[in-house]
Amino acid sequence: MMAASGSLKVWASMFAALLIAGACAIAAFSPGAEAQEIGCRGDVVLDAGHGGTDPGAVNSRYGLNGLKEKEQTLDVAERLKALLEDKYEVCMTRALNSETLSNSDRAAYANTTGAKVLVSIHMNGSTNPATDYTTTLYGKWRKDKALAQTVFGSLSTLPAAEGTGAIATRAPYSFASGVLLKSNMPAVIVETVFITSNAEGKLLANGTGARQQQIAEKLEAGIETYLSAH
């Protein structure tokens, strides 16, 4: 009895130690964040908006189960990462469409990387399928506004999804998001295009990836212009 009780006690304390170790490991990031590259140090953090149980805006007229913002933002983020990696180290807040992250998770992760900028990639939504424009959002004026304006300048040269000329624009505006407010570095939310637009949906769903690449290239140019001046 003594021996059995003793080994049970040892096992119990080992189990408790494992539980504590496990709790520490996930304390920094919520469950679902495992695919983040923990320990990544970089110049740029890319945050693919939404993910996991949060699809973001959906265009149900295109794609097999609708065109989902969480999938499109990750697609653009991966393309942008590949473009930036010639010059910069890049960290990603998420790498899978199955990941659910809070805005606090995203900012907390960004703050561990030592990055100079955080770019949170989104596509806008509207009930009007004719609505399409590009804009950027900033949190703290002094921290974020120059980045928001520079990236907006580059996004403004994105070709319109339909017809000729450039996409319509809305000037950068202030938005109280945890991604912006809780991050230590200049941060911007880019509402690149309206995923709910008929013309954008058609382009994004055509299977070539050309529209996603165009968006990634405009973001790259904006980020590089900002980083070369700051």
Q: Which token pair is 171? A: 């000037």
Residues numbered 72 to 131 that lie near Zn ion (CB under 5 A) are: 122
The closest of 13, 185, 41, 163 to 107, measured between CA atoms, is 185
Asked if 204 and 212 count as a contact pair (C-beta separation under 8 A), the reply is yes
Q: Pick between residue 98 and residue 208 the one whose CB is nearest to Zn ion.
A: 98
Residue 33 or 195 with smaller CB distance to Zn ion: 195
Q: Measured from the CB atom, is 154 or 192 closer to Zn ion?
A: 192
CB of 30 to Zn ion, least distance (A): 19
Cβ 18 to Zn ion shortest distance, Å: 38
Do the beta carbons of residue 153 and residue 97 sit within 8 Å?
no
Q: Where are the alpha helices (DSSP H) in 114-209?
A: 141-155, 178-181, 198-204
Q: How many residues bind Zn ion (CB under 5 A)?
A: 3
Host H or E run for residue 122? strand 117-124
Q: Which tokens hold the place of 77?
A: 């983020």
33-72 footprint of Zn ion as x/- string (CB under 5 A)? ----------------x------x----------------
* Distance of closest approach, residue 89 Cβ to Zn ion, in angstroms: 25
Between 192 and 224, CB nearer to Zn ion: 192
- Distance of alpha carbon 162 from alpha carbon 198, whole angstroms: 9
- Nearer of residues 42 and 56 to Zn ion, judged by Cβ: 56
Question: 59 φ, ψ to 5°?
Answer: -105, 100
Write the interaction track for Zn ion spanning residues 121-150; mark x where CB under 5 A is met and - where it is not. -x----------------------------
Paired residues of 188 in beta bridges: 119
Tokens of 167: 């996409």
Closest CB 23 distance from Zn ion, rounded Å: 31
Contact residues for Zn ion (CB under 5 A)?
Answer: 49, 56, 122
